[in-house]
Amino acid sequence: MSQTQGSTESGSTMESILDEHRHFKPSKAFSSNAHIKSMAEYEKMHKRSVDDPEGFWADVASELHWFKKWEEVLDWRLPDAKWFVGGTTNICYNCIDRQIDAGLGNHTAIVWEGEPIVDEDGHHAGGEPEVRKLSYYDLRREVSRFANALKGLGVQKGDVVTIYMPMVPELAIAMLACARIGAVHSIIFGGFSASAIRDRVEDGKSKIVITADGGWRRGKVVPLKDNVDEALTLTDLVDTVVVLERCQNDIHMVDGRDHWWSDLTATASEHCPAEEMYSEDLLFILYTSGSTGKPKGIMHTTGGYMVYTYLTSRYTFDLHPRQLCDEELNEQCRGDMYWCTADIGWITGHSYIIYGLLPNRVPTLMYEGAPDFPEKDRFWDIIERHKVTKFYTAPTAIRAFMKWGREWIDKHDISSLKVLGTVGEPINPEAWMWYHKVIGNEKCPIVDTWWQTETGGHMLTPLPGATTTTPGSCTKPFFGIDAAVVNSEGEEVGENEGGILVIRKPWPSMLRGIYGNRERFIETYWSKIEGFYTAGDGARKDENGNFWIMGRIDDVIVVAGHNLGTMEVESALVSHDAVAEAAVVGFPHEIKGTGIAAFATLVGGIEETDKLKAEIRDHVAKELGPISKPDKLRFTPALPKTRSGKIMRRLLRDIAAGREITGDVTTLEDKGIVEKLQKQTD
């Protein structure tokens, strides 16, 4: 039985597939079992949540564990929000102990799969991958041990702990251990380079780094420890490094500074009480790119973040935990198996692999490696073997799967899937339709979730049992979210008119600041339009009240779902000895959505060669990590500038996209440059 009405018949033309006015309604069968069953129910709850946010959020918060109840739900003094003021809780307790207290200690909390496919001798060939399942009991034991190890190393409440690890259970254990003892974690994505580690360590004044010898990616070892060693030659702030043994690759241990994870935890007690934290105590810092060179340390606190990620996880993915019944074979009893393919190093991993998921009592799956290792069907193989029901990934990945072809999917039974999610960048309607038909078999609602590192959780998203979806739209605001599209005066623009996306009321998981930089916090988010949070994205709202994200309106580009500041890449380019000046813009890219196009002028006398081009691109990858490597690089004797010296990015964007140059070029200083640039190949 098809669960989606109005799905496309085979043989329909591309135009009809891409018809913006196509609407997909969840089936009655799906809706009747969902938490939120209809648009009427959504609207009623949404109205209450914005009319009476304090009552709404107090009800949600009451479902979780608090040592001491709050005195006030919200204290809002623009731009500062305090939620659940005076209340004390611990998010690690809510992720783990609360389930044990409810008698669910033996239920699965985390399912992890390593990348290598190993045979009996541990060689990479055929065979079964390594799988580890941790119950809430297991997780509490491991987290407590590591928490005690951290205490033994002198880590105290409020200290910033840097974590730079592969996607292994110990990454989750390390972050939860920090939360358990009230230390603030700052997780750095394992794809970042030494200088990114140095910058973040210094910004957070962090004295301890948790890492691993390496992690597996596409059959190779990512040398995490070597990167940390290199970073620590650039700063002397760090006096302690903890090293997990994952790949058994050759690494160098520094006496007195470096400790093995296994040594520390072998002797540590498995009992560690969860620290009583104030709701507004800092939980973590996570760095994100901005429109200036320096990444911003986004601050999230405990109570509001916990409550918001808990509720969004439940409703956006329509999560259902395993029931306390013996009928393991009964689908209803078995409950969900949830898999988000993001790395924990990004906000998606923080909120929707760990913090929002575990309190919902649904197992969360973690996978260490690449989607095309050993073959291009790895994800579908994982879904089949673990019977994944809820799947959350990025449009970039979906476009890659489309390109690889459906034969990889057809090899597997992925009929366990029920809800499909996307995040990180706009999803083009072709990719949406492919996801809907080939992965979802036209029966799984798709949730296109718009949100940001700064927002902590989903802001605009369909709810699977209620929302009628349209390919390319992230539809409606979540509960408690008052979103609008406005002009520069803060007035709402008309239907289908483009404008600035703003949030007009505080929500529980909003960022509390930029670490160590109050001015930048106010300047970036609160000064564009008085009284509103500006997200940096442009959007429009259609005649059905659905939102459509139109892309960034600042100098941030979203490449393969990762937020990059063009300034950061420009700084990395000019740090190469041969480069005098550089400009970076985004261009449409088949797989990544947006690619990076760089333009550089060379230092006088240096010859423009292909070899140098490759060297400069590699240099950026080394400085910032592989995701920041420019896809295109063109040399130019000068950058196109206005007479007042501003780089004309609009022009560069046209050139990079191979488009005709549109708009006014009369303010350009030297028109000859543009012609030269257009003639070049990459």
**Contact assessment for residue 446 and residue 435, using Cβ atoms and an 8 Å cutoff:** yes
x/- string (CB under 6 A) for ligand WTA, residues 378-417? ----------------------------------------
At closest approach, how far in Å is the CB of 90 from ligand WTA?
25
Of positions 563, 566, 571, 594, contacts ligand WTA by CB under 6 A: 563
Strand pairing class (533-541; 128-135): unpaired
Is 192 one of the binding residues for ligand WTA (CB under 6 A)?
no
SS3 for 265-284 is: HHCCCCCCCCCCEECCCEEE
Of positions 348, 393, 534, 601, contacts ligand WTA by CB under 6 A: 348
Window of 76-84, 374-382, 529-537, 619-627 that interacts with ligand WTA by CB under 6 A: 529-537
Distance CA 615, CA 629 (A): 11
Q: Any residues with CB less than 8 A from the CB of 255 and at least 6 apart, and which? A: none
With respect to ligand WTA, which residue has the nearer C-beta, 283 or 558? Answer: 558
Is 449 one of the binding residues for ligand WTA (CB under 6 A)?
yes
Exposed e or buried b per residue across 568-584, where buried means at least 16 C-beta atoms within 10 angstroms of its C-beta: bbbbbbeebebbebbbb
β-partners of residue 552 are: 537
Window of 42-50, 370-378, 423-431, 609-617 that interacts with ligand WTA by CB under 6 A: 423-431
Is 474 one of the binding residues for ligand WTA (CB under 6 A)?
yes
Is 624 one of the binding residues for ligand WTA (CB under 6 A)?
no
At closest approach, how far in Å is the CB of 461 from ligand WTA?
8
Is 352 one of the binding residues for ligand WTA (CB under 6 A)?
no
Of positions 227, 453, 546, 594, contacts ligand WTA by CB under 6 A: 453
Instruction: List helix spans (H) across 543-664.
Output: 566-574, 610-624, 649-657
Is 425 one of the binding residues for ligand WTA (CB under 6 A)?
yes
Is 338 in a helix, a strand, or coil? strand
Is 537 one of the binding residues for ligand WTA (CB under 6 A)?
yes
Is 586 one of the binding residues for ligand WTA (CB under 6 A)?
no
Of positions 8, 452, 642, 678, contacts ligand WTA by CB under 6 A: 452
Q: Minimal CB distance to ligand WTA: which residue? A: 453
Is 116 one of the binding residues for ligand WTA (CB under 6 A)?
no
**Contact assessment for residue 166 and residue 246, using Cβ atoms and an 8 Å cutoff:** yes
Is 423 one of the binding residues for ligand WTA (CB under 6 A)?
yes
Instruction: List helix spans (H) across 169-269.
Output: 169-181, 194-204, 224-232, 261-266
Of positions 304, 369, 536, 625, contacts ligand WTA by CB under 6 A: 536
Is 549 one of the binding residues for ligand WTA (CB under 6 A)?
yes
Of positions 426, 595, 630, 640, contacts ligand WTA by CB under 6 A: 426
Binding to ligand WTA (CB under 6 A) within 285-304 occurs at: 288
Q: Any residues with CB less than 8 A from the CB of 50 and at least 6 apart, and which? A: 480, 481, 482, 505
> What's the DSSP call for residue 355?
I
Window of 68-76, 205-213, 532-540, 657-665 that interacts with ligand WTA by CB under 6 A: 532-540
Distance CA 341, CA 604 (A): 46
| 41, burial (CB in 10 Å: exposed 0-12, middle 13-18, buried 19+) | middle
Q: Any residues with CB less than 8 A from the CB of 301 and at least 6 apart, and which? A: 83, 279, 280, 281, 282, 283, 512
Using CB under 6 A, list all residues that contact ligand WTA: 288, 346-348, 423-426, 448-453, 474, 535-537, 549, 552, 558, 563
